[in-house]
Amino acid sequence: MIANVALLPGDGIGPEVCDGALQTLQAVAARFSHEFRVQTHLIGGAAIDAVGEPLPAATVEACRGADAVFLGAVGGPRWDSLPPARRPEKGLLALRRALGVFCNLRPARAWPACLRASPLRPEVVAGADVMIVRELTGGAYFGEPRGRDSAQGRRRAFETGSYDEHEIARVARLAFGIARHRRRKVCSVDKANVLETSRLWREVVCEVARDFPDVQLEHQLVDSAAMRLCFAPASFDVLLTENLFGDILSDQAACLPGTVGLLPSASVGAGGPGLFEPVHGSAPDIAGRDMANPAGAILSAAMMLRHGLGLEQEARCMEAAVEAVLAGGVHTADLRPAKAAGTREFAAAVVREIAG
Ligand code: NAD
Ligand code: IPM
Ligand code: MN
């Protein structure tokens, strides 16, 4: 296969973890005789510095024309005081919208090799394996009107949390389909005791569920679901939720593997190129120090092979390589500070494992 990948390294540790992911991708290409043609483009703070905007039109065009898009991370303190429309994060949000990738898959599991790194007791976290399906292009992230004004001499800020039934049904449908290939359970997470959008969410999810009688559906309020993710993480299979709740719960799910540095994601749904990026941010506190865990990015590259390019066997090879490296005791400092490997050393170990 020849595939064109648009690479958007972005800011902070983004370029470092992208390097690692790219090397492992090229190792897979060599082993399975594929060719991945990678072109790098600007996004986020790097794009603001270079051309004055977080998502240049040339980047959108290149992403639309690629077979898959791979992103590192955006954002950092340098750009935090810019107006909302010119922040690095706005570039990422606009890219998700431009690609129409409404379904964000964020798997999290307790890796047997990392059980001691989890803040949860081994007997609580063991066996946990949850697929968070986060709606990605709706809700309070995008609803209009939004902004600031002043009322009675006081500054006021507002956004609109809104979902229509189509937005809910299409992501629910994908979540049920995914559950069919797993343990056939969907937990839909909402705040239906308070929010109007959540009440519609629950209604529509129930309607979609009728087409999936073989999948068990339960509903849970987001506050207690957050608690359950810590107290009984192994009780979840697919966790389906809206954009904002999914953002929060997916970072919380870092307590399963013991670090956010191990969490990958895939954003799909539109039929065009998917967007693949680790769950973590630009980690300004460790950027440029060869300390970042590249595993989340490498596992995102595996998700790109599976969900973006249809290369299942290759995806498994990459995931098995990460697992073998961790099982062999090679780890970055976020998992355990003692005898930690650097970003480059960890990625090189995965490359060696793939090469066999
Ligand atoms: P963060 O995920 O960047 O960092 C949180 C903590 O986790 C930090 O202590 C960091 O060092 C650590 N960490 C994150 N990734 C790691 C890795 N791969 N290896 C080891 N340690 C890692 O979240 P934050 O500090 O809240 O945000 C920093 C910036 O990143 C902000 O500007 C935010 O908007 C942005 N952000 C971007 C994305 C994205 O691009 N997808 C996601 C989240 C946050
Ligand atoms: C994520 C990030 C983004 C989000 C930010 C950087 C816009 O936190 O991908 O989880 O909130 O979706
Ligand atoms: Mn987030």
Which ligand 1 atom sits nearest the alpha carbon of residue 277? 41
Among residues 42, 78, 8, 11, which one has the least CA distance to residue 282?
11
Instruction: Outline which parts of the chain fall under CATH 3.40.718.10.
Output: 1-100+272-356, 107-262
Task: Give helix 295-303 / helix 312-327 axis angle, nearest 10°.
Answer: 160
- The helix/strand/coil state of 273 is coil
Nearest ligand to the C-alpha atom of residue 136? 2
Which ligand 2 atom sits nearest the alpha carbon of residue 104? 9
* Rg (alpha carbons) of the chain, rounded to whole number: 20
**Segment 147-178, tens digit of pLDDT:** 999 989 999 999 999 999 999 999 999 999 99
CB 125 within 8 A of CB 256: yes
Structurally, at CATH architecture level, domain 1-100+272-356 sits in 3-Layer(aba) Sandwich (3.40)
CB 257 within 8 A of CB 119: no
Place of tokens 């510095």: 49
**Segment 271-316, tens digit of pLDDT:** 999 999 999 999 999 999 999 999 999 999 999 999 999 999 999 9
Beta bridge partners of 135: 103
Break the chain down into helix, strand, coil percent, rounded to 5: 45, 20, 35
Helix (H) or strand (E) holding 131: strand 129-135
- Give me the active site residues, please: 141, 191, 223, 247, 251
| Cα separation, 8 vs 51, whole angstroms | 15
Q: Return the CATH number of the domain spanning residue range 107-262.
A: 3.40.718.10
> What backbone torsions phi and psi does residue 155 show, to the nearest 5 degrees?
-65, 140
Distance 353 CA to ligand 3 centre (A): 30
Ligand 1 neighbours by CB, cut-off 6 Å: 13, 17, 73-76, 89, 92, 260-261, 277, 280-286, 292-293, 296, 334
Residues sharing a CB contact under 8 Å with residue 101, sequence separation 6 or more, in sequence order = 136, 137, 267, 268, 269, 270, 274, 275
This prediction's pTM: 0.98
**Segment 73-126, tens digit of pLDDT:** 999 999 999 998 899 999 999 999 999 999 999 999 999 999 999 999 999 999
Which amino acid belongs to residue 180?
R
Which ligand 1 atom sits nearest the alpha carbon of residue 44? 40
